[in-house]
Structure 1
Amino acid sequence: MKISIVLPAKNEEQAVGQTIQRIINLFPNAEVIVVNDGSTDQTAAAAEAAGAKIVHHPYSKGNGAAIKSGARAASGECIVFMDADGQHDPADIPRLLKKIAEGNDMVVGARQKGSQASIGRGLANGLYNRLASWMTGHKVEDLTSGFRAARAEKFREYLYLLPNGFSYPTTSTMAFFRAGYSVAYVPIHAAKRIGQSHVKILKDGTRFLLIIFKIGTLFSPLKIFAPIALSLFLLASGWYGWTWYHSARFTNMSALLYTGSVVVFLMGLISEQITALMYQGRK
């Protein structure tokens, strides 16, 4: 099986060369693609000197956009996505590929304890994993890991769903689950990155909070909307019972809460149908 290894890179001059060299030492026949996402340093030159094929973005479009460009440019039957900053160990790639060979469609490198960049990010990832596990009915060990391998044909089916920002791992994982494709996990250790992180705590922290809602809307919106609708219905019933007991009347507040529960449920039902249409697949 021909392999393409895609590395999105923005201002990774310090690390990209040695990362590529380590990959080529292990996989001399693999296609190594570096997507230069509008770097202002010598990232492209360092990557090319190390032996990678370069895909250029004239300006920074985002990590997810770089992933999409790399997937389109890849010629391999299997695509491995990994960071160019030294966090991911190329020696783990054979373990991902072994799981692909066993029949899985996507294999994710699940970061173990001690791999997270900060306590806050580790707690957030734990929350994402638990929510995604509840939504899908399968144990999700690492929803946001960018180190993964996937069958190229199946990954490209859902490029149109992937955002241009940092949440492409979440979207791709949920898309594969929704489509009924097999997703497996391999434990890895993520090292400390070389150079400065491009994740901004305030800006990207707010964006990552939206991942929680995206998880629901990508997989099964009704699982998010139905509990909210039920809560409103129970609240309306409780308020109606209290007002009827004390003053024998049906209040406007009860009517508003009942109406809200019905509207929220119908919105979830419609969203469920729209989501089903989204996952018909585009080849």
Structure 2
Amino acid sequence: MNKISELTPGAVPVGFSSPSISVVVPAKNEAKNLPHVLSKFPSWIDEVILVDGNSTDDTVAVARSILPNIKVVGQSRKGKGAALRSGFEASKGDIIVMIDADGSMDPGEIPAYIGALLTGADFVKGSRFMQGGGTDDMEWYRRLGNWGFVKLVTWRFGGNYSDLCYGYSAFWRDALTRLYLEKDDGFEIETSMNVQALQAGLTVHEVPSQEAPRIHGVSNLRTIPDGFRVLMTI
């Protein structure tokens, strides 16, 4: 049974071939967390791309020990946005999934994202604030900021998002041609993609996602400066 028939039984036309799937994982000094992430990817993923942000630990070696066929690429500029763009450019799949390397996002949710794409969505984003979602890794002031950004985007661009500043997403490769991401070097790329998907008229679906705390290390997210970049992006 192929990956599509596993996700959407009875929904595959005769002669329809499964799309290839690439997963992009930006990582900087995540050697301790990668075993909790890479080992949980579904076996039918066609390609995993690790974007190494000049790690000074064993991030690359650990990744290759878990997935010998993993593709490792670098990034031309600093920041999560720059890392994701490098991963997108290096990917070959018909579908691209973006997921963090810190263990906060569950790879077991990937089928839900792929299933939504196979049933008509162009762009699928995770939500920690719809029924079935949740987070154990967000302080009250970040929750308040996210709520404010959601209301601002709804007022300015429409849509019906329940979450905005969350980077677990999946989309058809063709969707990239409708998004302009060259100026989004930092964490604001997640918001930029969500807003531009609305502007471009893409069919966007949200799926519930459970966010866990980072397993090891400290996040590179800076609440006030990165929040300001998100505001300016909107």
Q: Normalising by the residue count of structure 2, what TM-score does the alignment of the two structures yield?
A: 0.84
1:15 aligns with 2:33: yes
How far off its partner does 1:62 sit? 0.8
Asked if the contact 2:178/2:200 (under 8 Å) is kept, the reply is no
How far off its partner does 1:211 sit? 1.9
How far off its partner does 1:176 sit? 1.1
How far off its partner does 1:163 sit? 0.8
How far off its partner does 1:127 sit? 0.9
- Choose from 205, 213, 217 the match for 2:232: 213
Task: Map Cα deviations across residues 1-22 of structure 1 (whole Å, 9 max, x no partner).
Answer: 1100000001101011331111
Asked if the contact 1:34/1:54 (under 8 Å) is kept, the reply is yes
Change (3 A) 1:66 1:159: farther
- Choose from 202, 208, 230 the match for 1:187: 208
SS where residue 15 of structure 1 aligns?
coil
- For 2:46, the aligned partner's letter is A
Give matches, 1:77-88, under 5 Å.
Answer: 77-88=94-105
Partner residue in 2 for 1:104: 121
Cα separation, 2, equivalents of 1:133 and 1:54: 37
Partner residue in 1 for 2:48: 32
Cα separation, 1, equivalents of 2:30 and 2:88: 20
- For 1:130, the aligned partner's letter is K
Give matches, 1:237-252, under 5 Å.
Answer: none
Asked if the contact 2:34/2:59 (under 8 Å) is kept, the reply is yes
Q: Normalising by the residue count of structure 1, what TM-score does the alignment of the two structures yield?
A: 0.70
Asked if the contact 1:106/1:149 (under 8 Å) is kept, the reply is yes
How far off its partner does 1:198 sit? 3.0
Asked if the contact 1:109/1:147 (under 8 Å) is kept, the reply is yes
Which structure has the greater CA radius of gyration?
1
Give matches, 1:1-283, under 5 Å.
Answer: 1-23=19-41, 26-51=42-67, 52-57=70-75, 61-112=78-129, 113-201=134-222, 204-215=223-234
Cα separation, 1, equivalents of 2:136 and 2:154: 21
Asked if the contact 1:129/1:142 (under 8 Å) is kept, the reply is yes
Task: Map Cα deviations across residues 88-138 of structure 1 (whole Å, 9 max, x no partner).
Answer: 111111001111111111101101344442111111111111111111221
Change (3 A) 1:15 1:183: same
Identity %: 31
Gaps (5+ residues) in structure 1?
Answer: 216-283
Cα separation, 2, equivalents of 1:54 and 1:148: 20
Cα separation, 1, equivalents of 2:202 and 2:121: 8
The structure with the greater share of residues assigned to helix is: 1
Q: Output the aligned Cα RMSD.
A: 1.8
Higher RCO, 1 or 2 (CA under 8 Å, sep at least 6)?
Answer: 2
Q: How many residues align?
A: 210
- For 2:118, the aligned partner's letter is A
Which moved further from structure 2: 178-187 or 106-115? 106-115
Asked if the contact 1:11/1:41 (under 8 Å) is kept, the reply is yes
How far off its partner does 1:47 sit? 0.8
- For 1:209, the aligned partner's letter is F
Change (3 A) 1:211 1:29: closer
- For 1:33, the aligned partner's letter is I
